[in-house]
Structure 1
Amino acid sequence: MGTTRFGGEEAATMMAELRGTFSTGKTRSYEWRVAQLRSIVKMLDEREGEIVEALRSDLNKPEFESVVYEVAMLKSSCKGAIKELKQWMKPENVKTPILALPSSAEIVAEPLGVVLVISAWNYPILLSLDPVVGAIAAGNAVVLKPSEISRATSSLLAKYVEQYMDSSAVRIVEGAIPETSALLEQKWDKIFYTGNSKVARIVMTAAAKHLTPVALELGGKSPVIVDSDVNLKIAVRRIIAGKWGCNNGQACISPDYVITTKDFASNLIDTLKQELERFYGAEPLKSNDLSRIVNSNHFDRLMKLLNEDKVGGKVVYGGQFDKSQLKMAPTLLLDVPQDSLIMSEEIFGPLLPLVTVEQLHESFDIITRRPKPLAAYLFTNRKSLKDKFVRTVSAGGLLINDTAIHLAVQTLPFGGVEESGMGSYHGKFSFDAFSHKKAVLYRSFIGDAAVRYPPYTRTKMGLLQALMGGSILGILRALIAALFGSSGKPKTA
C-alpha cells in the first residue's frame, strides 16, 4: 500500500487534472480507446505470473481460478470490446413521427466524463478492471480505487495500470476509508461500486449530493432449487463449481442456500459428500484447490454463523477449520431455522445450508419472501418448473441447470435488482453503463407547417392531435375538416 497522504486536497487536484484531460477530447477518439484496451491485454499477458502470485498472497487463490476466472475473463472482455467498439460508437438511427417530417433522428453515445470505480477484494483483478474496460470503451477518464483488503493485488494494480495505460486519463488511488471518503467528496460523472449493501448506501448518499448517477454491484442470498428428476452427479458438480470453486464461496453469485424436497435431500447430500471428497480430498484443509478466507474478520464472521445456537447440530458434512491459516472446509448444514443468522445474512464463504420442503413449489415462497438476490439457480428437466421459475423469481440473473457461468456470457447484462444492486454491465452493457445516450433530431427548412403556430384554432388542434396519434384515418378526417369545415362544403377565402 502506498504511504503518500491522499485527502480532499489531493483528490480535488487529481480531479481537476482529469477533467482537463477529458476536456481536450483526447479520450473520445476511437484510436485512444482501442490503444488503452490493448494495453490492458498486454499487461495481462506480460504480468500474468505476478497477478497469480498477488492473488495467491491475498486469497491463496488456486492458479486455475486466477488464470481462468480473472485473467482470461478480463482478456475476453477487452478483446470483445476492441472487436465491437466501432459498431458500439456508431450513432443509432431511429424513426421519426409524421408530426416531425421531414426529419431524421439518431441516438449518439457520448462519454459521461470522469468516472470513479470502487472495486471489491474477492476478484480483485476482474472486478477492478472489467468496469474500467467499459469506462474506457465509452471514452471516459477513470479513477480506480481497488480494495485495501486485497493488498497485494491493489499494489500490483497501482504499479502497472498507470505504467501500461495513459496516466493522464487513468489513475489508481490506493487506501482505505479515508482515501475512499476523500474520493466520494468529489463530483463525479458516474460512480461504479462493487461490494456490500452497507457501503453502497454510503456511496449513494455521497453521490446524491452531486446528483451523480451510480451503478451498484452487490450480492444477496442466491438460492438453488434442485428437483429430483435431474442428472444428480452433474447437478452436484455444477453446484460445487459455483460454490467452492468460486473463491471458496467468497463470490457474489455463489449459491447461498439449496432448497429440495425432504424425500430427495438424502440423495442430494450423499452425492454432494462424494463429489466434494473427490474434488478436495478427505482432508480439505490441505487442498491446494480451495482459497482461504480473506482475513480474520471474515473468518470470525463465518464462525459466528456456524456456531449460532440455532445452527448447532445441523452440520452434516465438513465443519473443519484452521484459524491460524484462515482455512475453512466446505460445510453442509441441513434444515437450519429460517430465522437463523445463516439464513438471514449473505454467507460469502464455504458454508452451504440445505432447506427441505414437502413439495418443490414451496421453494418459490421461500425465495420471494426474501430480498431479491443477485442470482438464482434451478436444476430440473421439467418445462413447467422452468417456466414458473422464470415467471416468479425476481433476481439479477437466472440460470437453469448450472451455476455462476452466466457471468461469462458477454451478451447478457450482469447486475442486480433492489438489494442486490442497480445497473448492469458486461459486453455492450458496460459501454452503455458509462455512456450518455444523447438524442439528436435533424430538420430542414422545408415543409414548415402553419398548423403549429398561433393563432390557434380547433381545426389546427384537431389536425395536430391526429398527426401525433399517427392514425392515417384520423389525419384524413382532420384534413377534410380543415379544408371543408363541418358543413362538408369547400371553404372560401
Structure 2
Amino acid sequence: MQTQTQTQSISTSIAEKYRLQKAFFASGATRSLAFRRAALKSLKAAIREYEEDILDALYSDFRKPRFESYTSEVGFLYQEISHTLRELPRWMQSRRQFAPMALFFSRSAVHYEPRGLTLILGPWNYPFQLLMAPLTASVAAGNCAIVKTSSQTPATAAVTAKVIARAFAPEHVTTVSLPGREVIPQLIEPLEFNHVFFTGSVPVGRLVMEACAKHLSSVTLELGGKSPCIVDESANLDVAAKRIAWGKTFNGGQTCVAPDYLLVKENVKDELLKRIARYFREAFGESPQKSPHMAHIINRKRFDALTKLMQNGKIVYGGRSWPEELYIEPTIIEGVSLQDPIMQEEIFGPLLPVLSWKSVEELKTIISHNPYPLAFYLFAKNRKLEKALIRDISFGGGCVNNTLVHVADPNVPFGGFQTSGLGNYHGKEGFETFSHKKSILKTSFWPDLPFLFPPYAKWKEKVARMFL
C-alpha cells in the first residue's frame, strides 16, 4: 500500500512531467511536418529494437502466443505507423471548401492544429498496441503525450517505458506508472489535459468522462459491450465455425471486439456447434492446458469471475479450468437465458454462450437486450439479411463472414457507439481525433458590397432573399 509520502512523490513527479510538456508544446516545436515524421520514425525504430523484449514481456504477463503477440501488438503497429508516415503530409494540408453564394467573393478552409497536451490511458488486454496506436495518432497530430501503462501487465509496462524513453524526449512523450485507482485523483483531476484517450471498461469510462468535465477536456472512450455473432442458414458453416473459434480464443478471448455470444439459426445450430468444437480440438488438442497456442487469463480475479459465468446453462464442449495455470479451455454453453449473468456482462474470456433464432425480429429482440455493441459479426450469403441487419442494428463496427479483422484496416474508423464508446481512431480518424479543426473564411477587399450593412433599406432585404 502506498504511503502518503510516496503518493506526494508520485504527484510531484507527474506535475513536473506535465510542466515540461506544457512548456515544450508552447514552444511550437511539435508542429512541423518534419518534427512529426522524425518522431514517428524514431518510434518505429525503437519498437524494432525492443521487439523481442516486447514479445517476451507479453508471454511473461499472460502467456500470450508469440504469433498473436507479433500480429496484434507489434506488426499491427508497424502497419499503422507506416500508413501514417505515408499519408501525414496530405492529412496536414488545409482542406478548402466552397463557400455559398450568399458569402460573396469568399472562400473557406479547414485548418488542423494540435490539441496540445494529451493523456493516453492503456488497458491490460493489449497492453502495448492499445497504448501505441493512439500515441501514433497523437504524435502525428503534433501533440505532447503522457502515457499511463497498465499495472496489471508489469513486464509489458516496463518494456513500453523503455521504448518510449528510447523514441522520445520526455518533454515530448513520457510514461507514468501508477495503480488504476490513482489515475483520476493524480492525473485527470489536478491536470488540465487538452484531450484524454481511455481504453477500458464502461464503468471506469464513465468516471473518466465525469472527471474530464471539470476541465472541459475532450475525451475519447474505447469501451466494450456484448458483441453478437450471427450465423444464418445460408452461411458456409465450416468457414464460419473456423473463424468464430479463432475470434473467440484469440488472446484467450480477452479482446474487446471478440464475438461475445453466438446467435445461430435454429435449423443449423447443432451442425455449427459440432464444427466449432472440432476446430477448438484441432487448435488446442485434448489437453488444452498444455497448448502454447492460447493466452492464459490475466489474473485470479478474472479467472474466478469467468468460472462463475459457467454455472448457468449446459456445457456442451469444454468447461475445464486450471486455477494454478490461470487457464480455461474453450467452452461452448447452450441453454442460457438473457437473464443469466453470462448474458448480462461482457465475458472477456474463452466462453461461448449460444442462443438460437427463427425470425429476424426475434434476432433483433435478443440483441436489443444488450444494445450498442462495440462489434457485430454476421455469417451469411443472404444479401437481403446482411443489408437489413447493418441498417437496423447500431454498433461500433464489424465484419460480414469474419471476426476481429476489421480493426486492422487503417482506412476505416474504429470506435464504439453510445455505451460501447465515444469517438474513433486508426489512420486519418486518429489524426483528426487528436487535432482541432479551425474553420477560416477569407473574403476579398473588393468589391465591398453595400447591401450587407445598415441602414437596411427594403431593397437590401429583397437582394438578401435572392440568395438566402
TM-score range, shorter chain: over 0.9
What RMSD in Å do the two structures reach over aligned CA positions?
A: 1.5
Matching residue of 2:301: 297
Where does residue 200 of structure 2 map in the other structure?
195
Distance 2:169 2:36 in 1: 10
Letter in 1 for 2:209: M
Deviation string 1:151-208 (CA, Å, 9 cap, x unpaired) is: 1111111122122222221010011135413011211100000000111011011100
The equivalent residue for 1:306 is 310
- Tell me the distance in 2 between the aligned counterparts of 1:98 and 1:25: 37
Provide closer, same or farther for how the CA distance between residues 369 and 107 of structure 1 changes in structure 2, counting only shifts above 3 A. same
1:270 maps to amino acid: K
Distance apart, 1:142 and its partner CA: 0.5
Per the alignment, in what secondary structure is the counterpart of residue 98 of structure 1?
Answer: coil
Alpha-carbon distance in 2 for matches of 1:296, 1:211: 37
**Take 1:462 and 1:221, find their aligned partners in 2: how far apart are those partners?**
58
Structure-2 change in CA distance of 1:382 and 1:361 (3 Å) = farther
Counterpart secondary structure, 2:310: helix
Could you say what secondary structure the match of 2:258 adopts? Answer: coil
Kept in 2, the 8 Å contact 1:58–1:294? The answer is yes
Within 1, Cα distance between the matches of 2:192 and 2:79?
A: 32
Secondary structure at the aligned position of 1:93 is classed as: strand
Q: 1:45 pairs with 45, 48, 60, which one?
A: 48
CA distance, structure 2, for counterparts of residue 88 and residue 261 of structure 1: 44
Corresponding position of 1:259 = 263
Give the Cα–Cα distance (whole angstroms) in 1 for the partners of residues 333 and 442 of structure 2.
64
Return the TM-score normalized by structure 2: 0.96
Aligned partners of 1:22, 1:64: CA distance in 2, in Å? 38
Q: Measure, in 2, the Cα distance between the counterparts of 1:98 and 1:7.
A: 57
- C-alpha displacement at 1:12, in angstroms? 2.7
Return the match for 2:170 from 167, 171, 176: 167
Summarize the Cα distance change of 1:178–1:233 in structure 2 as closer, same or farther, 3 Å threshold.
closer
Q: C-alpha separation between the residues in 2 aligned to 1:258 and 1:32?
A: 47
Q: 2:280 aligns with which of 276, 282, 304?
A: 276
Q: 1:68 maps to what in 2?
A: 71
Secondary structure at 1:27's aligned position in 2? coil
Amino acid paired to 1:120: P
Structure 2 spans left out of the alignment, 5+ residues: none
Counterpart of 1:373?
373
**Is 1:148–2:145 an aligned residue pair?**
no
SS of the residue aligned with 2:120?
A: strand
Q: Is the 8 A contact 1:115 1:189 kept in 2?
A: yes
Please state if 1:36 is matched with 2:39: yes
> Do residues 176 (structure 1) and 198 (structure 2) align?
no
User: For the Cα contact (< 8 Å) 1:7–1:178, is it kept in 2?
Assistant: no
Asked if 1 retains the 8 angstrom alpha-carbon contact of 2:17 and 2:171, the reply is: no
- Number of residue equivalences: 462
- Aligned partners of 1:215 and 1:457: how far apart in 2? 50
- Deviation of the 1:296 alpha carbon: 0.5
**Following the alignment from structure 2 to structure 1, what is the Cα–Cα distance between the partners of residues 228 and 93?**
40
Residues 85-107 of structure 1, C-alpha deviation per residue, up to 9 Å, x if partnerless?
A: 10000000111122222122210
Q: Deviations over 1:446-478 (max 9, x none)?
A: 1111111111123212322322x2xxxxxxxxx
Matched, 1:209 2:231: no
**1:414 correspondence with 2:414:** yes
Q: Counterpart of 1:28 in 2: which secondary structure?
A: coil
Paired residue for 2:124? 121
- The reply on whether 1:58 has 2:55 as its aligned counterpart is no
Answer with 1 or 2: which has the greater Rg. 1
Partner amino acid, structure 2, of 1:146: T
Letter of the aligned partner of 2:260 in structure 1?
D
Q: Which residue of 2 aligns with 1:224?
A: 229
Alpha-carbon offset, residue 69 of structure 1: 1.0
1:188·1:212 contact (CA, 8 Å) conserved in 2? yes
AA aligned opposite 1:50: D
Maintained 8 Å contact 1:335/1:356: no
Amino acid at match of 1:90: Q
Distance of 1:433 and 1:378 partners within structure 2: 29
Instruction: Tell me by how many angstroms 1:15 deviates.
Output: 1.6
- What's the CA shift string for 1:207-254, capped at 9, x where partnerless? 00011110000010000110122211111111112110x211100000
In the alignment, which residue of structure 2 is the partner of 1:82? 85
SS of the aligned residue for 2:96 comes to strand
Shift of 1:361: 4.6
Query: Does 1:392 find its partner at 2:396?
Result: no
Any idea what SS the aligned residue of 2:102 has?
helix
Q: Output the CA distance in 2 between the equivalents of 1:259 and 1:360.
A: 11
TM-score by length of 1: 0.91
- 1:318 maps to 2:318: yes
Determine the C-alpha separation between the residues in 2 that align with 1:142 and 1:159: 15
